[in-house]
Amino acid sequence: MRTKVAIIGGGPSGLLLGQLLMKRGIDNVILERRTRAHVLGRIRAGVLEVGFVELMHQAGVSARMQREGFIHDGIEIAHGERMFRIDFQKLVRRPVVVYGQTEVTRDLYAARDEAGGETIHEAEDVAIHGADGDAPYVTFTKDGEKCRLDCEFIAGCDGFHGASRPTIPANLRREYEKAYPFGWMGVLSETPPANRELIYSCSEHGFALCSMRRENLSRYYVQCPLSDSPDDWPDDRFWDELKRRLPAPVAERLVTGPSIEKSIAPLRSFVSEPMQWGRLFLCGDASHIVPPTGAKGLNTAASDVHYLHSALGAWYDRGDEAELAGYSARALSRIWKAERFSWWMTNLLHRFPEQSGFDLKIQAAELDYLANSTAAQKALAENYVGLPY
Q: Which residues have a catalytic role annotated?
A: 72, 200, 292, 296, 384
Q: Which stretch binds ligand PHB (CB under 6 A): 42-50, 231-239, 258-266, 303-311?
A: 42-50
119 or 342: whose CB is closer to ligand PHB? Answer: 342
Q: How far apart are CA 307 and CA 352, in angstroms?
A: 36
CB of 362 to ligand FAS, least distance (A): 26
Among 105, 256, 293, 303, binds ligand PHB (CB under 6 A): 293
Nearer to ligand PHB, 291 or 313 (CB): 291
Which residue's CB is nearer to ligand PHB, number 46 or number 156?
A: 46
Torsion of CA 128, 133, 134, 135, to 10 degrees: -40
Residue 339: helix, strand or coil by DSSP? helix
219 contact, one of ligand PHB, ligand FAS, none, CB 5-8 Å limit per kind: ligand PHB
Site for ligand PHB in 201-260 (CB under 6 A): 211, 219
Residue (of 267, 263, 338) closest to 301 by Cα position:
338
In angstroms, give the least distance from the CB of 284 to ligand FAS: 2
Residue number closest to ligand PHB, CB atom:
46
Q: How far is the CB of 188 from ligand PHB (least distance, A)?
A: 9
For the chain, strand residue ranges (E) read 5-8, 28-31, 47-48, 70-72, 74-79, 82-87, 96-98, 118-120, 124-129, 137-142, 145-150, 153-156, 174-189, 199-203, 206-214, 217-224, 259-273, 276-277, 280-282, 288-289
DSSP helix/strand/coil, 384: helix
Q: Residue from 21, 30, 47, 151 that binds ligand PHB (CB under 6 A)? A: 47
* C-alpha span between 296 and 327 (Å, rounded): 19
Provide the minimum distance between the beta carbon of 367 and ligand PHB in the complex, in angstroms, as a whole number: 17
Of the pair 34, 214, the CB lying nearest ligand PHB is at 214
Q: Give 144 or 357: the residue with its C-beta nearer to ligand FAS.
A: 144
- 227 burial level (CB within 10 Å; 0-12, 13-18, 19+): exposed
Q: What is the helix, strand, coil percentage profile of the chain, to 5?
A: 40, 30, 30
Binding site for ligand FAS (CB under 6 A): 8-14, 31-34, 39, 44-46, 101, 123, 126, 157-159, 161-163, 265, 284-285, 292, 295-298, 301
State which residue, 14 or 46, has the beta carbon closest to ligand PHB.
46
> Residue 265 binds what, of ligand FAS, ligand PHB, none (CB under 5 to 8 Å, by partner type)?
ligand FAS
Q: Residue 20 binds what, of ligand FAS, ligand PHB, none (CB under 5 to 8 Å, by partner type)?
A: none
* 70: Cβ contacts below 8 Å, ≥ 6 apart: 97, 98, 99, 212
- Cα–Cα distances (Å) from 152 to 82, 129, 323, in that order, read 56, 12, 16
What does the alpha-carbon distance between residue 153 and residue 309 come to, in Å, rounded to a whole number? 12
Minimum CB distance to ligand FAS, residue 159 (Å): 3
Among 183, 193, 292, 386, binds ligand PHB (CB under 6 A): 292
* Min separation Cβ 342 and ligand PHB, Å: 9
Angle ∠(315,318,320) on CA atoms, nearest 5: 50
Residues that bind ligand PHB (CB under 6 A): 45-47, 198, 211, 219, 292-293, 295
